[in-house]
Structure 1
Amino acid sequence: MIARVRAGEPEAYADLVRAHTGIALRAARALGAGADAEDVVQQAFFKAYCSLGRFRDGESFRPWLLSIVANETRNTVRAAGRRLTLAGREAAMAEAQPLIPESADPAVAAVAGERRLALLAALEQLSEEHRLVVTYRYLLEMDESETAQALGWPRGTVKSRLNRALRKLGRLLPEGGLREGREGGDEDG
């Protein structure tokens, strides 16, 4: 599809935008863009289009785009001179999460909500690099290779920082909070 965009087919880029807007919005919200998420994503798509000449053939578009979204989010947050509060980030994440079906047990839904709040509070206490690697790997459901590409880090660095971040999260979360959310551990090792 990138070749079609480079060849000047406007519909090809529109297809790329349609295919990746959802994940780009989730990334911008999860990384702190809040109400500016749509503007961040629009700017990221514009920058991606202008930078397609630097996109390497054979690479995955999604991680490359999400690294641009992450940079735009950082720039937007810094330029505004503010950080989202925990409540604001929770609201942004709730927008990106599917609604709980009416048939769900209210007690289970309440516990899930409490766990999500505890996780977000713990994430806020991590360094930016640890928060980023956990967000990309688990909240945005990227595999290790995609996470490495999006962050511009070697795969070994992703593994080691993710390991340290998860250990820190484990200490910050209430008893069993991380274990219950990640049964069976990480399939990538």
Structure 2
Amino acid sequence: MAPEVPLDDEEFVSRAQAGDLAAYESLVARHTASAYRTAVLLGAGSDAEDVIQEAFVKGYRKLSRYRGDSSFRSWLLAIVANETRNLHRSRDRRHGLVLRAARVAPGAEVGEDSAVGSVLAGERRATLVRALRQLPDRDREVIVCRYFLDLSEDETVAMLGWPRGTVKSRTSRALVKLRALLDVEAVRHG
């Protein structure tokens, strides 16, 4: 008997588009770890599980629109990135409300989200994440795609929806900024 060959994403996508829920569940199982990492690294923190759950639901609803122009993984991670951006917008609105309430009621404190620190072990990784969080959103997104998620340039273009030249130039500039932030961290904690 021949060994069973695991199905690739495209086969699972085709089956899921034809209504096979188990095939979509296989895609979810296959990509949960990278979706979670994406959400955490883009700043979802303790809300990462909610973000990826919402992304998987939206992915299922939009599956008929997936055309295979990019890998399923990069298409899905683009949805995760969008959901993380939505989370940031809602956090910013909530944060504004909390700040206004704090002005009314002095003594109320705004807590800092430390979930990323608890998720990522080790001091070096924590230092890297601190520096990464200081980057502007678009710089952070391209660094996460290229180096934390190991996406190819093509996959990064597909995930972020940016022109190839923008991905190349922003990656280069973001790395320079990240190195400078890491140098500052090294001096501060070294």
Measured against the shorter chain, the TM-score band is 0.7 to 0.9
What residue is the counterpart of 2:154 in the other structure?
145
Report if the CA contact (8 A) 2:120-2:126 is conserved.
no
Alignment of 1:98-177 (within 5 A): 113-174=122-183
Residue equivalent to 1:93: 120
| Distance in structure 1 (CA, Å) of the matches to 2:136 and 2:148 | 16
Residue by residue, what CA displacement relative to the aligned partner does 1:40-65 show, whole Å, maximum 9, x if unpaired?
A: 11110110111112211342000110
The counterpart of 2:84, out of the listed 73, 76, 80, is 73
Quote the Cα distance in structure 2 between the aligned partners of 1:123 and 1:57.
31
Q: CA 1:84 to 1:61, structure 2 compared with 1: closer, same or farther past 3 Å?
A: farther
Aligned to 2:5: none
Report the secondary structure of 1:56's partner residue.
coil
Shift of 1:140: 1.4
When normalised by structure 1's length, the TM-score is 0.75
Distance 1:119 1:76 in 2: 22
Identity of aligned residues (%): 51
Provide the residue aligned with 1:187 in structure 2: none
TM-score between the two structures when normalised by the length of structure 2: 0.75
RMSD across aligned positions (CA) = 2.3
Higher-Rg structure is 2
Report the secondary structure of 1:53's partner residue. helix
Counterpart residue number, 2:67: 56
Count how many residue pairs are aligned between Structure 1 and Structure 2.
Answer: 159
Q: Tell me the residue number matched to 2:35.
A: 24
1:34 aligns with 2:12: no
In structure 1, the gaps of 5 or more residues are 95-112, 178-189
Specify whether residues 165 and 38 from structure 1 end up closer, same or farther in structure 2 by C-alpha distance, changes over 3 A only: same
Give, in angstroms, the shift of residue 125 of structure 1.
Answer: 2.1
CA–CA distance in structure 1, aligned partners of residues 16 and 124 of structure 2: 43
Is there any run of 5+ residues in structure 2 with no aligned partner, and where?
1-11, 96-109
> Equivalent residue of 1:72, what SS?
helix
